[in-house]
Structure 1
Amino acid sequence: MKFCEKLNEYIASISCTAKELCALSGISEATLSRYRSGERVPELGTKGFDGLCTGIAQIAESKAPNLTYEKIKEEFCSCSDFDSTDKELLRKNFNTLISALSININRMCRYINYDVSTVFRIRNGTRNPADFEGFSSAVASFIAEEMKSPSELTVLAELLGCSTNEITDQSAVYTTVKKWLVKEKQQKPDTIGVFLNRLDEFNLNEYIKVIKFDELKVPTVPFQLPSSRTYFGIEEMKESELDFLKATVLSKSMSPVTMYSDMPLKEMAKDADFSKKWMFGMAMMLKKGLHLNQIHNIDRSFDEMMLGLESWIPMYMTGQISPYYLKGIQDGVFHHFLKVSGSAALTGEAIAGYHSDGKYYLTKSRKEIAYYEKRAQELVANAYPLMEIYRSDKENELNAFLLSDSDKPGKRRSILSTLPLYTADRELLKQILKRNKISEERQKNILEYAEARKLRVIKILETKILEDEIPIVTKDEFAAHPQVLELSGIFCETDITYSYEEYMSHLAMTEEFAASHSNYKLLKASTPAFRNLQILIHEDQWVMVSKSKAPAIHFVIRHPKLRKAIENFIPPVIDK
């Protein structure tokens, strides 16, 4: 039986009108008419198909109770002309595969014979493969060819939810991956997407108000703590952390603080009361004016790594933190813990897998602090910057970095929340600035910056590819969220808005710029990925996450694991 025949059979059996079914299913009468005539067949996993199944099931509740959503869906899927491939599920699983396995997209595209831009559109949902069967087969074949070492197969088995014994040869890998691509599973949260969205939404000014940071008074009452104390287990470990922060805040020392831990984070994060107290202690430490060298342990699971970085977002914004990481896999047998200030040192250890049996030691002894300070200095000496952080006081350094990088080979990509400044002509920019009542001095500064950006981009385009993803917004969307000039590079936090006509003029200029520069590729998204972030990528070199306001700040990330995750990040297409 064909889909249209089954649909008409359902409509007749539950005695409903087209108008009634459309209202419940969320599809238009014209679309339903095409489904009924056989002119079109919906796709599995789409809102239209799910809505149709839901609408029929709701109407059938009082007329045919045995006609459930699951049964309707199953019978539709068995129709002779219905493609039972869940395209949305395939897209999500394909994205997960690329992110989890750090796939080299260019190499994969060459292997599966797909253009990189086509794969990009498949990943963000704006395009489907012409042949789903062929596409999933080609991807599975590529994975089988790539994943051969024991460590790679272990990671792959973890992702696929099977044992390594089930994927011992290429044929088994191919079969398992192909089935997995279209198999429903519990989706893990997109941790890099969550991190970027929280960074996008974070407002330092609001955060300061909420925690009343400006009202905090650093106490001077002596903190009564023995010269040393030992702690056991997770609960006492939390206590030791808070005691260390108290000792550091209440002392007269202004020495930098160094902190490192490869202890598991999830148990700590579950304790909301501890997290609140810890964050308050950290805020007090920063309020005191102490500089913090934070050595992150990146050799965690990706979820744990991102969980740790998320908690540091507010503190990164202050400019008082230098983030580092240690290269290479750390000791997998022991967990370690070292926090040192000018007034206290906290150290600890636990056997991996037995965090609850750990032992921690806090000391205020000058001799012991000197010993641990030396260890902390040696640790920092062995560490590498996790990211360079540029705030307004480092504007010249940021410009110097970007200028020097423009000579280096490699493809550039950007995910933008507004149109690129360098594609607008000077007259349009002057018009926008004048309408926004920007001072003459500030106008001059912005126009000079825009010209410098344009020259730098044109220089890059002489020999290298630059690909920009830009949002295309409708007039109604623009009215709700007016687009603004992207001026984070000069740390301008004032919203300088377009009128809709100015926005459309700039969009036309951007399209003309793409047409006149063969190395400039323009990708259009139906919605902005972010409101307050731009992501610049120099593939295999660095990514820069730029926040436009509250505060204007730039994070240049080079660590391979984190950089690759952001490189592979595909902003979701938001259904309107």
Structure 2
Amino acid sequence: MKFDEKFNLLMNLLNIPNNKLAKALSVDPSLISRWRNGSRDPVRNSTYIELISQYIVTHTSDKQCLYELINLTQFDTQEQLAKALSEWMVVDHVSDSTFANRFLSHLSKNIAPVASNLHPEYMDNQHKGKKLSVEVFHGNEGKRKGVIRFLSAVIATPKPCELLLYSDEPMTWLLEDPQFLKKWGVLLNDVIAQGHRIKIIHTIDRNPKELIAAIDRWLPLYLSGGIEPYYYPNYQEALFKRTMFIAPGIGALTSSAMADVESMEQVYYRDHNMITILQNEFDSYLHLCRPLMKIFTEKNITDFHELLHEFEMQDGDLTYMSSSPPLVMLPYDSLCEKLYASKLSQESIEYYKNFYIKRKHAFYEHLKNNNRYDLIHLPEKEIFSSLHHAFSNVNSLILHEGMIISHSLLLQQLESVKKAIKSNKHYHVILNAHPLPNGILISYKKNIGVIIYKTTEPLIIFAINHPLMMKAFEAYIDELSIDRHYSDHDHLTVLQEIDYWIQNQN
């Protein structure tokens, strides 16, 4: 890769605008554009490359992405990382003239092939490979049979294991047969129901049709909480594609094919040595991958609380969308009353009280230097009675901050919202924004991540920071709020709207 290719990759991957970098370097944005398109390179002994590296290291929150990109281990200081990045940017993998020089040098020596002679000492008919018992499946129909064979073997094994799945081959074999697609889903559900877990490396750069199909296939399975999805951040289309479905200690299904060509042969191994070899290959690739999303259920909710605190404390404007105000708008005494009325242990009650205090502190700390936009779609009076007892479980309150617990608690939250609007210039509320799909909440920070809460059974939370997926949610939020652009002059209007809503509840 040349300088312009590396520079352009960094700018795109880290979402750095030309004008921001130009301002930091005190140069015209057109110069940044010329560096990116290759029409001009910075002089290698100039300070520009060093300044670019320092800016990137200082302004990106995703240091791990840089480590993976330059294929180096983590550094102790930002200065060390910036120096390594500078060196990576100016060193080509192979200099332009190296190949030509080597080629012409050998050519000038008139090197001829070695004369053909029989050399018995190099020949040994005793070296024979190990014979394995394998099963071979041919064509797309065979591929479907192979997958059924693989999943059936997993289901027949009483001891749970962790399945390892990866494929960047065309998915026609899966999509062209609706009956098989249904059977495939049932078998995977059975696998997860038996306690098996799945690690899957998704190929993000598939065409839009396959990406949408992937969501349709995998999202229902994500709800189980038994799947860990990953992706390779630097994936590029390759001439040859690969499939590896591995169940350690049970079996492995593998195939390969040229791009856009269906593989005609799939091999199922039961040999433990071969399964281990394929598992090591998968693990090596997984080491280079990143989580596509993190999935949380009640089983690992404390892990989510740690991630949520980190998310809320990071700088950046936050957009929150729900059918009721956030948990921190519930008065502390009301929260305690709800907790003590529950069947939680005293230890859990203390944990959730501390969790609430920590959340409230993070809420107001964030507002010191960042904007927060709460887009709240309150229920109409005539339908509220049907929601009155809908969410009375205390776990729902803790898991999903915007749950409607009761009419009286919602009114208390709105009074807290009014106080927050009056006392914080960075806190903005858009009332009766477009509703989200039933039982969904969203928290979004640009360039940081998006958190999606599913508040109906089964309760589940998705935390996502993949750039393409975040862009999609940013566009979605913009579409929902396009007719309610916020300005500082709207505070009074919102306060009036809240008072009007409260008055109409009596």
TM range (shorter): 0.5 to 0.7
Match of 2:405 among 490, 493, 497: 497
| Contact 2:318/2:445 (<8 A) preserved | yes
Relative to structure 1, the CA distance from residue 489 to residue 257 in structure 2 (aligned partners, 3 Å threshold; closer, same or farther) is farther
- Once the two structures are superposed, the pairs formed by residues 128-527 of structure 1 within 5 Å of their partners are 227-251=133-157, 254-265=160-171, 268-341=174-247, 342-355=249-262, 358-426=264-332, 433=338, 438=342, 448-482=354-388, 484=391, 488=396, 490-491=398-399, 497-499=405-407, 502-527=409-434
Shift of residue 390, structure 1, vs aligned partner: 2.1
TM-score normalised by the chain length of structure 2: 0.61
Give the distance between the partners of 1:532 and 1:270, measured in 2 at CA: 33
Shift of residue 493, structure 1, vs aligned partner: 11
Shift of residue 466, structure 1, vs aligned partner: 1.4
Alignment RMSD (CA, Å): 4.0
Instruction: Summarize deviations over 1:300-332 as a string: whole Å, max 9, x none.
Output: 123422321332223323332221111123334
Relative to structure 1, the CA distance from residue 285 to residue 427 in structure 2 (aligned partners, 3 Å threshold; closer, same or farther) is closer
TM-score normalised by the chain length of structure 1: 0.55
Unaligned runs of 5+ in 1: 1-100, 109-145, 151-225
Aligned partner of 1:563: which letter?
A: M
Give the distance between the partners of 2:142 and 2:361, measured in 1 at CA: 58
Partner-residue secondary structure (3-state), 1:569: helix
Relative to structure 1, the CA distance from residue 268 to residue 376 in structure 2 (aligned partners, 3 Å threshold; closer, same or farther) is same
Matching residue of 2:463? 556
| Contact 1:261/1:336 (<8 A) preserved | yes
Give the distance between the partners of 2:448 and 2:222, measured in 1 at CA: 22
Percent identity between the aligned chains? 22
Instruction: Summarize deviations over 1:23-43 as a string: whole Å, max 9, x none.
Output: xxxxxxxxxxxxxxxxxxxxx
Aligned partner of 2:426: which letter?
A: N
Shift of residue 245, structure 1, vs aligned partner: 0.8
Give the distance between the partners of 1:487 and 1:311, measured in 2 at CA: 29
Shift of residue 534, structure 1, vs aligned partner: 1.4
| Contact 1:325/1:386 (<8 A) preserved | yes
Unaligned runs of 5+ in 2: 1-11, 20-32, 38-131, 482-506
Relative to structure 1, the CA distance from residue 561 to residue 494 in structure 2 (aligned partners, 3 Å threshold; closer, same or farther) is closer
Give the distance between the partners of 1:409 and 1:554, measured in 2 at CA: 22
| Contact 1:413/1:536 (<8 A) preserved | yes
Give the distance between the partners of 1:503 and 1:253, measured in 2 at CA: 47
Aligned partner of 1:301: which letter?
A: N
Give the distance between the partners of 2:382 and 2:359, measured in 1 at CA: 30
Give the distance between the partners of 2:334 and 2:158, measured in 1 at CA: 55
Shift of residue 398, structure 1, vs aligned partner: 2.0
Give the distance between the partners of 1:526 and 1:404, measured in 2 at CA: 27
Relative to structure 1, the CA distance from residue 521 to residue 487 in structure 2 (aligned partners, 3 Å threshold; closer, same or farther) is farther
Give the distance between the partners of 2:444 and 2:401, measured in 1 at CA: 23
Greater mean alpha carbon deviation, residues 543-552 or residues 226-235 = 226-235
Partner-residue secondary structure (3-state), 1:329: coil
Give the distance between the partners of 1:557 and 1:466, measured in 2 at CA: 19
Shift of residue 568, structure 1, vs aligned partner: 2.2
Partner-residue secondary structure (3-state), 2:237: coil
Match of 1:542 among 430, 449, 456: 449
Aligned partner of 1:319: which letter?
A: G
Partner-residue secondary structure (3-state), 1:419: coil
Aligned partner of 2:474: which letter?
A: E
Partner-residue secondary structure (3-state), 1:382: coil
Shift of residue 447, structure 1, vs aligned partner: 5.4
Relative to structure 1, the CA distance from residue 244 to residue 559 in structure 2 (aligned partners, 3 Å threshold; closer, same or farther) is same
Instruction: Summarize deviations over 1:250-294 as a string: whole Å, max 9, x none.
Output: 246644210001233466235231122212221232233222211
Relative to structure 1, the CA distance from residue 473 to residue 319 in structure 2 (aligned partners, 3 Å threshold; closer, same or farther) is closer
Aligned partner of 1:490: which letter?
A: I
Give the distance between the partners of 2:401 and 2:360, measured in 1 at CA: 21
Aligned partner of 1:561: which letter?
A: L
Give the distance between the partners of 1:491 and 1:319, measured in 2 at CA: 15
Shift of residue 443, structure 1, vs aligned partner: 7.5
